[in-house]
Each structure stands twice: as structure tokens, then as C-alpha cells.
Amino acid sequence: MSESIQIKLTPKAEALLATMKAMPSWGMDAVRLGMDKANQMAVGNIMRKHLTGQGPFPVDEHRLGVVTNRLRGATWASPTVASGTRTTSSIGSPVKYAALHEFGGVIHHKARTGTARLATDKKGSLLHQAANANLLIFAKKSRKNVKEVAYKAEAHDVVIPERAPFRTGIREVLEDYGKIVSAEFLKVARSVP
């Protein structure tokens, strides 16, 4: 899944571009360089504002808390590719659950049965977690004092809301994209005879 975003150049860059019959090759190179710079700025914004902190966060904050740092550490921007008068690039993450949090979705769990090994004290009483007395402690295979309990889980769906941390982070700096790309375009235009 993806979403296209259009970048608006500054009035000065637009005016210069309007005087040209066609986009020169140096112009597309300048746009590509500007996009690459802007993408790195956007990735920084996404990581700083939307992939940080201790969650869970309200959905409308478009944030994901850090648990393992895999998503944040694997966030990338692809090099910009220029083709004709169009440039394309991507910002995302290869981490499997990134798209699910970005666009939302449903995880379906099938019905299942099994046996849980729960830790007990020497008298056979179940042990509870220190941080949450309502939760029991699962026993490791090597543990001697255990109670095996059969369980049955019904089929159910878990709805993951659309949080859109990447798209939100890009939209927040969209105006800066135009400024960065325009500055690169104007800088290169000044050096062309």
C-alpha cells in the first residue's frame, strides 16, 4: 500500500520553471537531490515524533511506542528516482507490522486448545506476577513446581486501528519538502550558464 503526495515549489522556483519550455536534465537532478534531502528530514521527524516513547498512545496521536526498537531502527527512505518529469521515492519500514499500524487492519485468530504450564509454590498454589496480581506466571520447562491447565480459546478478531505514523510525519513537513526541493533547484539553476 502507498499514498502519493504532491510537493508544491516556492513561488520563485515556480516562476523560473514557468520560463522553461521543458524541464532540463539538470533540473530533474536538482529535484532528485532535494527530494533525497527532504526525505531524510521526514524520516527524522517520523522517528522523533511518531516512533518514540512508552505507549500505548491514543490513536489520534499517530504514535507507536518503542518496545524492541525494530520498527524505528528499520525506518528508511529510498533514493529518489527521476523519470521524465516525475520523481518518486518511498519512506517506510520492512518490519512486518509496520503496514498494519500505518493502514489499520484485522488480525483473525482461529479457535485453539492447549495446555498452559503455570508456576506454583511448593504447596501447589499458583504464583502471580509482582507487577500485576491478576496475572499468573507461566512456568519454564525446567521448573519443577507447576500446574498444567487446559485452555480453549474461541476464534476472534483483533482490530488494529489506522495510526498512520509515516503519512502523518510526512504531512507535517510537506511545506519543508517544497522549500528544500526549490532551494536545490534554484541553487543548480544559478550555476548553469
Contacts of 25 (CB under 8 A, 6+ apart): none
Beta strands in the chain (DSSP E): 76-77, 81-83, 86-88, 91-92, 105-109, 112-119, 146-153, 156-160
d(CA 184, CA 188): 6
pLDDT at position 1 is 65
- Measured from the Cβ of residue 154, the count of other Cβ atoms closer than 10 Å reads 8
Q: Are 149 and 118 in contact (CB under 8 A)?
A: yes
- For residue 58 the three cell numbers come to 491514543
Contacts of 82 (CB under 8 A, 6+ apart): 28, 29, 31, 32
- For residue 93 the three cell numbers come to 519500514
pLDDT, tens digit only, all 193 positions of the chain: 677 888 888 999 888 888 887 778 888 899 999 999 999 999 999 999 999 999 899 999 999 999 999 999 999 999 999 888 788 999 999 999 999 999 999 999 999 999 999 999 999 999 999 989 999 999 998 999 999 999 999 999 999 999 999 999 999 999 999 999 999 999 988 887 6
Beta strands in 23-174 (DSSP E): 76-77, 81-83, 86-88, 91-92, 105-109, 112-119, 146-153, 156-160
pLDDT at position 83 is 85
d(CA 48, CA 173): 13
Report the predicted TM-score, pTM, of the whole model to 2 decimal places. 0.78
pLDDT at position 55 is 86
Q: For the packed helices 11-18 and 174-191, what is the interaxial angle rounded to 10 degrees?
A: 50
pLDDT at position 95 is 95
Amino acid at 65: G
pLDDT at position 192 is 76
d(CA 91, CA 174): 13
